[in-house]
Structure 1
Amino acid sequence: MLQIDLWKRVLIWAVCAFGLLMALPNAFYERVEAHNDATAALELGYSGNGLEEQAAMWPNWMPSSLVNLGLDLRGGAHLLAEVQVEDVYEARIKSMWPEVRDLLREERGTIGTIRLQPSDVDELRIKVSQPENIGRAEELVRGLARPVASLAAAGASDIVVDTDGGELVITLSEAEKLATDERTVQQALEIIRRRIDEVGTREPTIQRQGADRILIQVPGIGSAAELKEIIGTTAQLTFSPVIGRGSNPDANPGVGNEILPSLDEEGVYYTIESAPVVTGEELVDAQPSFDQNNRPAVSFRFNPTGARKFGNYTAENIGSPFAIVLDGEVVSAPVIQAHISGGSGIITGRFSVEESTNLAVLLRAGALPAGLEFLEERTIGPELGQDSIEAGRIACIVAFVGVLVFMFLSYGTFGLFANIALIINVGLIFGLLSMIGATLTLPGIAGIVLTIGMAVDANVLVFERIREELQSAKGPARAIDLGYEKALSAILDANITTFITAAILFAVGSGPVRGFAITLGLGIMTSVFTAIFVTRLIVVIWFERRRPKTIEV
């Protein structure tokens, strides 16, 4: 009959109380946000500037998780960047030259001398002095080929070796280019995410669009230019042998070499080998520090592979200069004084403390594998975001009040019970959004408004069922019991199909669509819970106290 066990009642009210408690910080958004920021700063060792007072604005024993506001509600920056994957082909081909050179020099007696020839950026041309034995050179270089690291190109090699007269021509295979494109975009996406996370921005949206584009949306940041400054620097660090030093940037560097300007010395240019000894990809850590003269610098540490290559080079070239190159400029060109075996070192230059800190962040996050071309940039001011919040709030209030009035006029006392459950339902939605750290956007607000309208559907089904049972001359208790029992299948069918739709939208959608899907999906779960359990519990408690002979629904 119409009864609910005590443990079920306690559990239902406990779930409601917990959900509303988690939603409570959102009612004091600015205060809790200031508390969270101040607490995070204090944990990092900062003090002063009123941080202690801001941290005390909200009790530490209370939940402090907030629903993050998206770009359209908070204001911020929007960028659409295209990854220049062709840059990677050139770097990959250049890096092969030292390995190919050392291999062919060992067969000098068979194939003669070799010389690197001018070529396109995506190929390597090597002239052999004994062209009649070029087949042997081709065979040796083909031995350097490796399988393409991609399931879609199983069995394919990463390079193609051909001959053109007395020259070897080495290019990347099409399978390797496709795998490189995929790898480059994924790596760029992760590095952008790490760089933005390093500066402590709140809930950025960073996702891939199409084959080689990345969408970046960061709420709360000042402008698109500021965002570009954070992610636009490639921070490509290399350690390369120095061939010479001069003042003419237009001099002929020779094949396999390049001329780069000095960062500190105006009018000074270094000729260095294009193929570096070690790259920034082999860095595992970079931290701001100070040199022996107490000037800002950046200390770094290589992984085992980089440490071995760095150690071998320094052991074999004591007394020779080597260049530390950052983004196409020579930061410094020290002379190797001794064998450096620890795999660590320090970058000195004319840095300020802020510049050394930013450089360490960029190096620690990793070098972008390729350049970015920004196709679209947009700054959304906080005023526009505030207007969106007000519009969304008005929409929610109008929908909420409309539903409350309709339910009360249609179902009287039972409509009032449904309204209480609806208020709890909205609180539970915000509690869940806070718990999972979801980002609320304008489409997300639309999902909440839709949920408010859908939340009473289950109650309408139940109440109409109770009306039908009352017309069959059944008692009030039995009519209520059968009403919930017979409406359950229809409630579950309607909400499960809608939840599947929300899941599909979340899986295949992006950005705003996902925001809508999250709030819709969570709203469906809370709606079913409040309709089946909360409303029924309220009705049971009312019936046990009043024991009415007849009821009006």
Structure 2
Amino acid sequence: MLNKYPLWKYLMLIFVIIFGFLYAAPNLYGEDPAIQVSGVHSAVVDNSTLDKVRSALKEDKLDAKSVAMENGLLLARFKDTDTQLKAQEAVTKVLGDDYSVALNLAPATPGWLRAVDAGPMKLGLDLRGGVHFLMEVDMNEALNKAEEQMQQDLRSNLREEGLRYSGIRRVAQGKVKVTLRDTDTANKAEAFLQKGAANEYTLERDGDSITMTLTEARIKEIREYALSQNITIIRNRVNELGVAEPLVQRQGTSRILVELPGVQDTARAKEILGATATLEFHLVDTQHDLGDAINGHVPAGSVLYKSRDGRPVLAQKHIMLTGDHIQDAQSGFDEYQRPQVNIKLDSQGGDMMSRATKDNIGKPMATVFIEYKPTGDKDENGKPMLKKVEQVIQVATIQARLGRSFRITGINTPQEAHNLALLLRAGALLAPIQIVEERTVGPSLGAQNIQDGMNSLIYGFIAIVIFMAIYYRAFGLVANMALLLNVVLIVGIMSLIPGATLTLPGIAGIVLTVGMSVDANVLIFERIREELRAGTGIQKAIHNGYDNAFSTIADANITTMITALILFGVGSGPVKGFAVTLAIGILTSMFTAIVGTRAVINLIYGGRRVEKLSI
């Protein structure tokens, strides 16, 4: 029978409608001003921290909508931003430097919606407000560290081969000069070094000296690795800020673009992102007196560090291994169910660790965490100056000769092991990062952009609704219902997709889709009118109108979809935001205009004797 849908199609449509409204609903509830508490390094956020926060708020008579653990973080929600700011000050005073107390905006989604993973759309920087950083990686420092490692490897390798040298020194950037004891040793050293040269360096002989120069390919590899490694670490640090949809991406050959929508505490963001960290493993110096070192008599080959709890640790200057060789670090338990951290190194790091520990079994090894923090001053070139902060985060006894995999034991709690594993994974920066550009988009400007975008959407929607209702009558009302469902589906899908972020150009894409979505209905309705004017029966006219218009609608939308995919592929930032909403809108508009309207038309007119259509 013409114009009759089977039951399963109606059930499918009902499911889609419920789905769309369910996942679009969280956007109606807005966001709460909130403070987010997370542990710094080995600090743990637990029930005792929760009690401290509640006591601090109560003491300062600050009313919170809720104070609870959410997604592993402590989140306190408030009714307004004034209370939020006062709460941050009060909680920071109580918790001290061991915890990060960051301002944020938390979705006010009800629990029953969160239970089905429904949440609001992620808003971009231009809509939600936030901070924009452009960060530059110090590539010279990356090369310097690579050269230092190269010199250390040379000393170890030449000693193992029995090749005596009188000096190894850096003569220029990318160049290391090795001076051997005699000509015969120089010949052997040249042959030995030539085996490992490959594409890493070139050799230049000058008497008993050999100059090793890093190749352009190796220098490029060092730069690329430093940039990609720092991007990974920045992403890990952003997690500490609790940003819903941050943007961290490469820009050029040495810069990183970071956008943090919704972040209000720009000082805290700069502190976390601007600090540069790395790791070093040293043998603890057990041959010299620690007391003498504390009194200022530090041995020439040693250095005095402090642990996180303030205890002094005397370690050898020689670096056994740097953190850039760590591939992975996972927390776990040993055979006695005590917390530990399992470390996995790359092949080069495994060889270095094996050589460094084979003769040092039973000796303590210190893991040193190094940060480069901004001083507030600038050098002669106008770049921010950094200060070096070094702390011992762990002292462990070497139980056996270590290779690519080993473990750190002597950890007090599983949470501390988990935090240490995160620290080891996130600490392997090859070079300091400096913030060279900073912009802040205020929440009021973001709110104004949202208001302007919503006004354009509402005005366009109303204009189309009036036109369709007047020009196509009952069929126009059906098209308007489909238009509303189309907008709901776009919002629902955008809210559901993890990586989708709505920007101001994205709103433009939705507005454009609203206009395009009725275009399909206009084609269908005009084909039905043509069929009626040609004397075709009403049921047949409806059937032919939908069937004959389908190919035209499909062609038009496919070409637009191709354009959207190209924009997404080659564009960046705002262009991608526009492309995403446009692509989603094309798919939803085809569904609502073809399947949705026909289901309603079939329900009203299908299988009935109709004298006249209201079209």
* 1:475-501 alpha-carbon deviations (Å, 9 max, x no partner): 222222111111111100111111111
Q: For residue 281 of structure 2, what is the amino acid of its counterpart?
A: F
Q: For residue 145 of structure 1, what is the amino acid of its counterpart?
A: A
1: CA distance, partners of 2:177 / 2:283: 22
Are 1:425 and 2:486 an aligned pair? Answer: yes
Are 1:21 and 2:49 an aligned pair? Answer: no
Displacement of 1:102: 3.2
What is aligned with 2:465? 404
Are 1:501 and 2:549 an aligned pair? Answer: no
- The one of 502, 514, 531 equivalent to 1:440 is 502
What is aligned with 1:83? 137
Displacement of 1:422: 0.2
- The one of 576, 581, 584 equivalent to 1:522 is 584
Displacement of 1:347: 10
Matched residue count: 516
Inter-CA distance 322–2: structure 2 relative to 1 (3 Å threshold): closer
Normalised to the residue count of structure 1, the TM-score between the two structures is 0.80
With 460-469 and 84-93 compared, the bigger mean Cα shift is at: 84-93
8 Å CA contact retained: 1:322, 1:333: no
What is aligned with 1:380? 441
2: CA distance, partners of 1:91 / 1:525: 52
More strand by share: 2
- The one of 256, 276, 281 equivalent to 1:239 is 281
With 80-89 and 525-534 compared, the bigger mean Cα shift is at: 80-89
1: CA distance, partners of 2:167 / 2:365: 23
Are 1:344 and 2:385 an aligned pair? Answer: no
8 Å CA contact retained: 1:85, 1:181: yes
Inter-CA distance 304–82: structure 2 relative to 1 (3 Å threshold): closer
Displacement of 1:506: 1.2
- The one of 146, 149, 153 equivalent to 1:92 is 146
2: CA distance, partners of 1:412 / 1:390: 31
Displacement of 1:132: 6.0
- The one of 118, 124, 134 equivalent to 2:176 is 124
Displacement of 1:179: 2.7
* 1:449-474 alpha-carbon deviations (Å, 9 max, x no partner): 11111111101111111121121111
* 1:110-167 alpha-carbon deviations (Å, 9 max, x no partner): x653311342242211111214653321111122235xxxxxxxxxx22222223432
Determine what percentage of the aligned residue pairs are the same residue.
38
8 Å CA contact retained: 1:240, 1:324: yes
* 1:370-424 alpha-carbon deviations (Å, 9 max, x no partner): 2223232111121111111111111111111111111112212211111011001
* 1:249-277 alpha-carbon deviations (Å, 9 max, x no partner): 9x9x8xxx8989879999x9999646544
Secondary structure at the aligned position of 2:540 is classed as helix
Secondary structure at the aligned position of 2:204 is classed as strand
Are 1:184 and 2:226 an aligned pair? Answer: yes
Q: For residue 23 of structure 2, what is the amino acid of its counterpart?
A: M
8 Å CA contact retained: 1:283, 1:300: no
What is the 5 A alignment of 1:91-240? 91-105=145-159, 108=162, 112-131=164-183, 134-146=186-198, 157-240=199-282
Are 1:392 and 2:438 an aligned pair? Answer: no
What is the 5 A alignment of 1:316-327? 316=359, 324-327=367-370
What is aligned with 1:7? 8
8 Å CA contact retained: 1:117, 1:126: yes
- The one of 529, 534, 539 equivalent to 2:601 is 539
Displacement of 1:527: 0.3
Task: Give unmatched runs, 5+ long, in structure 1.
Answer: 147-156, 288-297, 349-354
1: CA distance, partners of 2:189 / 2:514: 74
Secondary structure at the aligned position of 1:302 is classed as strand
Secondary structure at the aligned position of 2:244 is classed as coil
Q: CA RMSD in A?
A: 4.2
Normalised to the residue count of structure 2, the TM-score between the two structures is 0.72
Displacement of 1:364: 4.0
What is aligned with 1:279? 323
2: CA distance, partners of 1:129 / 1:484: 91
Displacement of 1:212: 2.8
2: CA distance, partners of 1:164 / 1:265: 52
Secondary structure at the aligned position of 1:3 is classed as coil
8 Å CA contact retained: 2:364, 2:398: no
1: CA distance, partners of 2:4 / 2:34: 44
Secondary structure at the aligned position of 1:144 is classed as helix
What is aligned with 1:413? 474
8 Å CA contact retained: 2:109, 2:120: no
* 1:192-225 alpha-carbon deviations (Å, 9 max, x no partner): 1122124422111112223332211111212444
Task: Give unmatched runs, 5+ long, in structure 2.
Answer: 36-64, 79-107, 332-338, 371-387
1: CA distance, partners of 2:452 / 2:368: 52
